A = this chain, B = another copy of it.
Amino acid sequence: MIKVGIVGYGTIGKRVADAVAMQKDMKLTGVTAHSYSFNTEVANEKGYKIFTVGDDGDLKLNGIKPAGDINNLLEEVDIIVDATPKKVGKENIEKYYKPKKVKAIIQGGEKHETTGTSFVAQCNYDEALNKDFVRIVSCNTTGLCRTLHALNKFDITSVHATLIRRGADPGDIRHGPINAVVPVLEMPSHHGPDVRSVLPKCQIFTTALSVPSTLMHVHTVIADVKKKVNVDDVIDALSSATRIRIVRNAEHLRSTAEIIEFARDLGRQRGDMPEICVWKEAIGAVSNGYNKLLYMQAVHQESDVVPENIDCIRAMTGFKDGQKSIEMTNKSFGIK
């Protein structure tokens, strides 16, 4: 049993905790809390051990009995999944994980250079084998890597993607925009270079905008490819890859809202959709002197990286068969 601790129990941390608890080869040792909230309350109700970071007065006042502090957690685990806010992951490596000699996974808010290894299971599982520190790339980068990796059988020469990003997560009451489209005024947006941290040969250029929606990101992607392709080839390539779902206008999955409603109806925990959803009717292929692919995909920012964290735990703790790990993880999520 791989003993796993979660540091940072927010959007990603709480999902990874539940996913670890579902794996037959893993044990959730505990999660951290730096203050009291409904997140801590739910963790407590689920029977997860809670370890404090900093002052524990707030927790005790609210009837939570901590199992110890973060140092106690580190003594009991094989690996930490750090899902703290941007930049804290890097600090925690220096402050906690290196001194305590504990392996750790950090998330996509951190820089590639912090670990030297960035991870998307179906693209580069082997690179994470037995590593001490690995970074899971962001939700957007994960989404781009999954589909571009599947489509690289057509020899992609260059990619341009526009990322229409949800402005804030559903539970976020602080951020916007409420009524604006906000372009990322840097060219390219950081997502393009970030894809290359997993797919180093991918020539990709990205532009990004934020919009007033909370549910999912949407990407429009154009790829120049060497091989002649048609729409059915693209559908086949995407369908046969893992963690990608073809959704259809015909089944009334015409928007991010309907995809998330579908996930809720499927009984997915928290209404999550960890698969990247590609709209069948928005897949295009042009062979007109040059060969181009076009598609649109929706990315559930809260959950697509969760299975990646699980596979990365296995890789870093020495489980060599990436394909098998992906199958085990998928089975626990009920995805293909």
Contact = CB atoms under 8 A, between A and B. Distances in A.
Interface of A: 160, 162, 164, 166, 177, 179-183, 185-188, 205, 207, 209, 211-216, 218, 220, 222, 249, 254-258, 279, 281-284, 286, 294, 296, 298
A300 to B, nearest CB: 12
Contact of A294 (B180, B187, B212, B255): B187
Which 7 pairs, one residue from A and one from B, show the smallest C-beta to C-beta distance? A180-B257, A185-B281, A211-B211, A182-B255, A180-B255, A187-B284, A185-B249
A51 to B, nearest CB: 36
Contact of A183 (B211, B212, B218): B218
Contacts of A283: 187
B281 A186 contact: yes
B215 A281 contact: no
Copy total for this chain: 2
A218 B180 CA distance: 10
Nearest to A280: B185
A180 B215 contact: yes
A222 B283 CA distance: 19
Contacts of A209: 164, 218, 220, 296
B218 A181 contact: yes
A314 B68 CA distance: 80
A181 B211 contact: yes
Contacts of A160: 160, 222, 294
A162 B206 CA distance: 12
A182 B284 CA distance: 18
Contacts of A218: 181, 183, 209
Contacts of A214: 179
Contacts of A177: 213, 255, 257
**Which of A177, A207, A279 has most chain B Cβ within 10 Å?**
A207
A205 B294 contact: yes
A215 B284 contact: no
Nearest to A260: B180
B279 A185 contact: yes
A72 B238 CA distance: 62
8 contacts: A164-B164, A164-B209, A180-B255, A180-B257, A185-B249, A186-B281, A188-B284, A212-B212
Contact of A211 (B207, B213, B222, B294): B213
A181 B167 CA distance: 11
A257 to B, nearest CB: 3
Given A182-B255, A185-B254, A255-B181, A211 B164 contact: yes
B181 A256 contact: yes
Contacts of A282: 183, 185, 187, 207
A318 to B, nearest CB: 41
A185 B283 CA distance: 9
Nearest to A208: B220
A295 B294 CA distance: 19
